[in-house]
Structure 1
Amino acid sequence: MVLSGLGRLGLWLHLRGRHPAMPDRIALSPGDGPLLVMRATPEAHAAATQVGARLVKARPDLRILSLGTAGAPDPAEDPAAAERLIDQARPFALLLLGADLPAGLITAAAARDIPIILGDAHLDPQDGGWSLRAAMRRALLGEMQAVMVADADSYDTARRMGISRRRLTMTGPVTQIHEPLSCTEAERAGFAQLMSGRHAWLAACVPPSEEAAVVEAHRAALRLSHRALLFLVPDSAERADALADEIEASGLIVARRTADEEPIEEVQVMISDGPTEMGLWYRLAPVTYLGGTLSGDDANSRNPFEPAALGSAIVHGPATDRFATEWRQLDGAHAARRVSDAEDLAGAIAELSQPDLIATLASNAWTVSTGGVGVAMQIAAPVLKVLEERPA
């Protein structure tokens, strides 16, 4: 491993004294097929599952040693333990998934000329700087035969770290595939005909703490488009009728799903009777605000890949811990609109009455939410190439 002086110092300080207990022998999968060592961060679990499936489908004789699982402890930061693992497993390659660059493992593999491949990586912009940590990570990343990053910002960071375009690919993230929520097609078609080209948006599973902000956002939309329609889904079915009464009292015309009313021309707000028909509302609304993300009252918030998979552009607040991985993937791909407060939400909803803005967000979101298999195949490709080119 060729390191700069700063990178060598950073690596020495990072690994100094890191010697977790490791077994003398590693349990390997039975068989005599080629063995791949794979390490994934918790955030990259979906990537590990899908990439592993692609690899085994292409090479049924392939054995995969997944570090951190039962029988395969993770020697990420212990060079001596990593050397024992590499020497026992004798892998043809090391596949790393996620943002971590495990120094001990990379050092041991590089010293033995084991090809190292990094996939589904999200890089910190600070990695492109000149701190001791950045110098160490730059040196470790330089050992990779192929680097596949999940978003444009990570690609730019990798270029600043000196990774050549020949070794660098932006794949997008590996995402879990979710089957689109269903609805009754006849009902969807009937509603769509009633709406007759009106601009519509959905506020999904809105807690009481966000109801006022959603209504004000709709008033902002009405000022730009007097025919705008809001589908409002409270986070509890029990809240539907009381919410409808409050909105009617504020001067807006409301239709109630509980009364089998329909969104005719005069209706400005359609109140759902709870989150049981989300597949219908996602299909009808080209824009969706996912409730709970503005206030953090997110016990009933929805997975953002639900509207993404059905072509609805997504707006969300700063509280994204509940589906942190999904939000990180969408935001990294410029596939969602983030707002900071109620005023910002109103501005975003009004602005997203423009079809071109909606189409860009919705297309990016659909690509992220449905692209898991294709990205997994992209990450698997350089692993399979190493396998094909290795000596018999």
Structure 2
Amino acid sequence: MAMAGLGRLGLWLHLRRQQSPAPGPATLPPGDGPLLLMRATPEAHSAATQVGARLLRSRRDLRILELGGDIPDPAEDPAAAGGLLDQTRPFALLLLGADLPAGLITAATDRRIPIILGDTHLDPKDSGWSMRAAMRRALLSDMRAIMLTDAASYDIACRMGLPRELLTVTGPVTQIHEPLRCTEAEREGFASLMSGRHAWLAAAIPPSEEAAVLEAHNAALHLSHRALLFLVPDTAERADALAAEIEASGLIVARRTADDEPTEDVQVMISDGPTEMGLWYRLAPVTYMGGTLSGDDENSRNPFEPAALGSAIIHGPATDRFATEWRQLDGGGAARRVSDAAELATAIAELSQPDLTASLASSAWTISTGGVGVAIQIAEPVLAVLREAKP
């Protein structure tokens, strides 16, 4: 109770400093159907698109007004937020992402407008005893429903004392990517040549990581002399020189540029660049995503590409380029993180076991393709508010 009071006091002091004149007239979506006010963080843009589409499919007369762009975002400003809510009179406020806009939430709560929070994750600091934590606890307690991206956030919410009936772990709303294509006849031909072999893919490998990849493959060959590496350099221009260097080290190399095939004696298959990634992801049960060990990631690939095609994923610590995707995969236990060449070699060896590979790949596929299902879960509390409203 004391913490709740502290949070309310902190909010009052914080919002006192945010007062400003009321906003000008807002331009509303056409029509006379119920209006939903939606606010999404930049990281939750994909979630806003997918949840909005799901809502409109369920209620064709629904009008959605998204903050930002032509509609100023009042976020921390209670006067501006109150003025906007009085003009637009939404039946609900949908917040997507980790932000908790204090002015907007407080104004909606004062007007008894239901607030739904989705596609959000909590920080461990939220369960602490700071003023910030108390304020966030107070804001979260005003929600009609809270849908979290991961189990860790659920545990934090419980430690914060939030009612469990408000909480749902949905997973993240992931951006839907069409699986990369390949020629099925070619895939079948390659697969028949590879029957029973431990194969893995090193995707978009910069020169700075070539030695680490070859070290990992030599470790795999010590366990299984039939192990096969598909190696895709990050630029096509590097393919022939790389093939020559690997041959000089004593390994048997097939070259895509020469129309070679991965026959029984071939140990490394060099691609002619990233134009056939759909083929390699399908053939390799395990993929290491290049650029993530060294940080040379100018040409690195989106990790949802192999995830959508059933390949288990290994990556290094440099994940800034696709930070959201990596956070979703790592948070869901759907990728294997390594810190250096030695750990990469260990991971490649361990993932020669089909059961481990299948478990990791299944989790990655679920996350990379689960956006529609999560969007439906987030849309449901919004639709429930509509169903409860008086006609």
Distance 2:34 2:5 in 1: 37
**Equivalent residues of 1:315, 1:339 under 8 A apart:** yes
1:1-392 map, 5 Å: 4-19=4-19, 23-70=23-70, 72-392=71-391
* Distance (whole Å) between structure 2 residues aligned to residue 188 and residue 20 of structure 1: 63
Distance (Å, rounded) in 2 between the aligned partners of 1:328 and 1:366: 15
1:22 and 1:75 in contact (8 A); partners too: no
- Post-superposition offset of 1:5: 2.7
The offset of 1:326, in angstroms, is: 1.2
- Greater Cα shift, 6-15 or 91-100: 6-15
Instruction: Please tell me whether the aligned partners of residues 199 and 228 of structure 1 are also in contact (alpha carbons under 8 angstroms).
Output: yes
Question: 1-side partners of 2:171 and 2:364: how far apart?
Answer: 11
**1:271 Cα offset (Å):** 0.6
Structure 2 letter corresponding to 1:89: T
Tell me the alpha carbon deviations over residues 287-316 of structure 1, each in whole angstroms, 9 at most, x when there is no partner.
101111111111111111110000001111
Report the residue type matching 1:66 in the other structure: E
Identical pairs, percent:
79
Q: What amino acid does structure 2 have at the position aligned with 1:78? A: D
TM-fit CA distance, 1:217: 1.1
- CA contact under 8 A between 2:23 and 2:84: conserved in structure 1? no
Give distance in 2, aligned partners of 1:261 and 1:20.
70
Structure 1 window deviating more from structure 2 (234-243 vs 216-225): it is 216-225
Cα distance in 1, alignment partners of residues 190 and 85 from structure 2: 61
Pick closer, same or farther for the CA change 1:238–1:203 going to 2, 3 Å. Answer: same
Structure 1 unaligned residues grouped into runs of 5+: none
Q: Which runs of 5+ in 2 are unaligned?
A: none
AA aligned opposite 2:236: A
AA of the residue aligned to 1:23: P
- Deviation string 1:340-385 (CA, Å, 9 cap, x unpaired) is 2222212211211111211111011101111111111110011001
Cα root mean square deviation, aligned: 1.6
1:254 deviation in Å? 1.1
**Residues 313-338 of structure 1, C-alpha deviation per residue, up to 9 Å, x if partnerless?**
11111111211111111111111111
* Cα distance between partner residues in 1 of 2:194 and 2:20: 63
Select between 12-21 and 349-358 the one with higher mean Cα deviation. Answer: 12-21
Aligned length: 391
Other structure's SS at 1:321 match: coil
Moved more, 13-22 or 284-293: 13-22
Code of the residue aligned with 2:9 in structure 1: it is L
Q: CA deviation at 1:12?
A: 3.4
Please give the TM-score of this superposition, normalised by the length of structure 2: 0.97
